[in-house]
Chain A
Amino acid sequence: MLDLPTSGRVAVALSLLLAVSAGTARAQICFPPADGVPGSPGAPDWWSPGATPAGSTTTSFLEDPRWRGAMAHDVLEYERFRVVVETSGSSQFLIMSWQVRADLNNSGDRLYFGLWDDASNSGNVYRLTRMQETQTSVAGATQAAGAFSGRVFAGTGPLDAVAWSTSGTIPPPPLPAWLTTDARVDVTCASPPSTGCDRWAFRIRAPLSATANPADTAPTGFKLTGPNFHFWYEIQDSATVGTATYAFPSGIVNAHEGGIPPIALPTPSTWKAAKLGSGAGCESDVALAVSGVWVNAAGSSTLSMTSNDFHARPVNNTAGNLFNDAVTARFRIANWGSVGFASPEWRETCASTTAGGSITPGNPFDLRCTWSGFDSCPYRPAGDPCGPQAGTKDSHQCILVDLANTTGTLNTLVFAPQSVFRNMDFDVNSVLTREAMIDTRGIAPMANGALRRDLYLRVQTRNLPARAPRLPPIGTPGTAAPPPTSVAVPVPPANEDAIRVREIAALRARFRELQLPSQGTIDVKSSLRIQQALLEGKITLEHVEQLMPTYTVFVWHDTGRTIETEQGPVKVMEPQPSFGLFLAHDGDLEGWEHRFEGAEQVAENLYKITAAKDGVTTVTATIAPKGELPPPAPKNTVTCSRCDVAPRNPDSQLALVLSFAFIAFVVVRIRRRRGVS
């Protein structure tokens, strides 16, 4: 049951932060066959003439339901890789996609990906540079259209001592046909005035071939002569403030071109061991998705002040039955914000208790525990008579779940290596001010030993235009309001508002069951229907983001490391948990305004904090209908939801002292007048 609001002004929170800790890592990951979905078998197909994404609610090939069952790797909410294996006649292809959901700064980003054939001790790495900067169509952009360039690296030698080479010809030789014809770049630009073209993806169909020659200037595919191979990728999202890197496997050296030596790629012995197929022997015996974690009611992350039942429902991915008590879950909670998984901010609640029975393949466990007898005062609203701690924590909490083989068993189950992360609240606003904690505690020390580190925060908005698009009133010549939940929207005059209104109506019409208004704001009732559909698994958080005003803050911290580039060494940054809001609003509004405080603005929608290496900083996001944004907080004042960690305001301390002095002075005067000695 969902903790639904009793009035239109009450927020419903879904604030899930979830990480699945891998157990003892098994040697291999598996690239599964592309089974597709009923009615649309096979892999997502974007390369065939006239291809369109499958599914009525699908607006891109990245959402295509035929990715079902893909081997996936996520770096928090920032980047996602997926792969399935397509068989076409006697040929096999890796169908792969990489999505970057929070681009730091324009194009020039690099994707390295490599496959090493263990049997032949040879392989290739491809480096693609994204050059597409503008919004792409559903089909995506090709190399011929200038969407990307690339280079091929060939490797030979033993797994742990590979020599890499690349053609020294200038310019580099043309890429192989399978990249020039079948690869696509997607770029997504939010509606103005939000954060521009801040999402991008590569989609690649790479042939697997026993006869491919890695030494060719344009290999006909990845050479694969045996069952086993090693795989690696790294994304370098370049920006003026540094380069954010996302890699699989993580924790190995970064690729670089520039400096000495001019080319360096991680040795394949550090890549991920892999094979084609699925089932036994593959990593991810047990997988957990964000929708499988809640407290008290499905989808809820709202605490009860008395007793809380935590649930985790990971799925048995093995081919056999598993005992229900084979897996345990540990539940922790933290306030809204960017809190690293190793931060002491995470509060232990409880660990799942054992239960009998067994779980058949493909079905979920129900790992649960009850947390009660805790001091609920911090989670109660400020001013609650329970004490001064009231209001220092939010009742909407992020939830962190760690899965493990149950102690004392001989299980060696491997849990999904992907981390599934959410820290998004649903909220309602007229004027909404939310504080968030940016926590660097527990993050690896700066590689250069520095005691302070820079953090960069990127505010990304969706459906939060400063001026909401609107059609002229019904009756205005040449216009008509679009009918509710209908795709067949009359074509209004060709102006930007009309185009945008038509796009919104068409998008909402794809989700008929939600009964959304064809235009205007998503009101509270609509928001509740969206949340319910999310809980029931009918839509995804990505769909919610398309439909609702969304405010997300992505956070990267400086690692103290650098990588060499053609322009010299640049800072390496790593992501830490993002956080955000889905907003509903009753009634019409002209548009939205938002402000981010507590950090130095260094570029449009990009902010910087210089924090102590183990520090907590509070930032404030304010979102309001246009014209209602309150003035910024005066400088030298600090508002905080955690007064145990926030600095005190010296001005207010002085005021307090002066107040006491004045009161004492008045009391003394009165006593003297009354002759009290």
Chain B
Amino acid sequence: MLKTADNLLSLVGNTPLVELRRLSPKSSVRLYAKLEGQNPTGSIKDRVAKSMIEAAEASGGLEPGRRLLEPTSGNTGISLALVAKLKGYPLTCVMPENATEERIRVLRLYGADIVFSPADEGSNGAVRMALELAAQDPELFMPFQYGNVANPRAHYEGTGAEIAEALDRVDILVAGLGTGGTLMGTGERLRESFPDVVVAAAEPLPGDPVMGLRSLADGYVPPILDVAKLDRKVLVSNAESVAGLHALLDLEGVFGGVSAGAVVHVARRLADELDDGVVVCVLADAGWKYLSADFWDSPKLDKAGIEASMERTVWW
């Protein structure tokens, strides 16, 4: 263990893995959480941002001082903002205009410029707009987490290797599905050590308002995501994610973000299918960036109330 770090980027990764004994549905199944909220900017995306920028520097594709552009609903932008600041790149983030206020403020505090995409197009709209902007201006460099192999590689070499090192058995891996980077990279590395591991995705069930009314041809599958490499892919409603968040906090004292709640929901469901074994949850961030949301008061809200309060935002 290093006593001091030369800069914040060397503190990315090597996050703690903690057992969640009270959350496990049965004592014969051990449930562990990888606390990615303990990365320098508070999310798993620090791994991805550092990996993508360092890969681009190493390949010569990113010249000093060139402006970065990235579509993001928050965490990747904040991680890129830190990497960009320390390495001297200006940054523009494209994000849906209904992203949480905390994310917008943090991005601005780190010095990033923000371009807003239409709320009703969700993340697809941010991706579309960023691709258009990059096509118009060749001076911009887009790391593009949805299509950059340095994204899953960060999880193959980091997240997955750290879990494989820490545990001598993993039966199920559960992580949130966004770009697919965590699931692809961590899953690939864990399969090398534990060939029968079940790689399970927790996927958000989007609210009607963020699905838009455009045609299916506007749908999007990230190029780095190969669904054939997922063993399970489970939809999680906003109300189920919030129930997961409260269970994490109430039983274990872990303050997670919305996708962490969804991951815990799926992990408990799949753990219940095992007679015995080890389940690892990757919790992508902590709850701080969601504090302004109404759902924390959910003891006062019923399921429909939670859904109604959350349906207009893309949560992960």
A binds B: no
